[in-house]
Amino acid sequence: MGWAAQGVAEPRARSGVPRAVGRAGQDGGGVGALADPSGLGATPGPTGSRLGGVAAIGATWVAQSCSRYAPPQERSSGAGGVEKKLPETLATVMNPIDLRGRPMRLMFQDEARFGRMARPRRCWAPLPWRPVMLNGYERQFVYVYGAVSPLQGNLDWMICSEMNTVRMGEFLAQVSYAHPDEFIVMIVDGASSHKAKDLAIPENIRLVPLPPYAPELNPQEHVWDELREKEFPNRVFNHMDAVIAQLHGGLPRFANDHVRVRSLTAWPWIVSLNLNAH
């Protein structure tokens, strides 16, 4: 059992979300999309519809969870000192020949999985209600590619049913299409799909690797933490359609809040970088 949402949860019922392949965009905040050849997908239901068969009795519950990550100012140092090496790396890729007069956009990319395994969090409920939640252990997941632009407060994302070189190439193509007039320097981790020889990299994108074993230096990790804490705590999903519907609601909601995205990811050493051509 897990302790979570206010009230006793009703027996789980199928969400009734129809299967679909959809595309969602953010107004001025990048582009989000669902890429899923297997047909795994969903269109969110009407406002106020129940997801995963979990209902709260009485007043609406409010999750109160402790932050699982330290402030970015505390975590942006050490582990290879990417903040010291990145200016030198940028100098090698930011040259007038490649930029061709285009403005430069700095992005940090990462992948994450979201699924039906419950994430219990501490919460409160008015008396006499006792928070109760059904626990879920089903190992079913969907994957999200994300790339945050800390200086602009933008987030580009793509939902898919798998993570591999082909999907990474599709995401890069989506990012390139969303920012066609900019030269993009994208910081990535050491995943094999990021280094594959057959990875298709658009002309206006350059990939720069993070130091090994230093995920805390990637602000996109904080985006995932924020989404899990705000959109997925104390919820049990009885079908993957409900998980995808929750992502379709939460990702655009977060991406459209540019001030929130920037405050979470624009760390001081990132803001201080010189993004002018050399």
pLDDT averaged over the chain? 75
Please, where are the H alpha helices in 189-278? 192-195, 220-231, 240-255, 258-265, 268-271
Q: What is the DSSP letter of 92?
A: H
Tell me the three state secondary structure of residue 86.
helix
Give me the pLDDT at residue 203, please: 95
Please, where are the H alpha helices in the chain? 72-75, 82-93, 96-99, 165-178, 192-195, 220-231, 240-255, 258-265, 268-271
The reported pTM is 0.70
Between 89 and 45, where is the model more confident?
89
Percent of the chain with pLDDT over 70: 68
Tell me the three state secondary structure of residue 147.
strand
Q: How many beta carbons lie within 10 A of that of residue 216, not counting itself? A: 18
Average pLDDT over residues 74-88: 57
Between 122 and 160, where is the model more confident?
160
Indicate the domain borders of the chain.
Answer: 23-43+81-125+139-271
Instruction: Say yes or no: domain 23-43+81-125+139-271 is CATH 1.10.260.
Output: no
pLDDT tens-digit map of 142-162: 999 999 999 999 999 999 999
Between 124 and 26, where is the model more confident?
124
Give me the pLDDT at residue 50, please: 37
With 0-12 / 13-18 / 19 or more C-beta atoms within 10 angstroms meaning exposed / middle / buried, residue 130 is exposed
Token code pair at residue 164: 């591999």
Give me the pLDDT at residue 180, please: 96
Per-residue pLDDT at 234 exceeds 90: no
Average pLDDT over residues 223-236: 88
Between 268 and 52, where is the model more confident?
268
pLDDT tens-digit map of 178-213: 999 999 999 999 899 999 999 999 999 999 998 777
Between 227 and 68, where is the model more confident?
227
Confidence of residue 214 (pLDDT cuts 50, 70, 90): confident
Give me the pLDDT at residue 199, please: 97
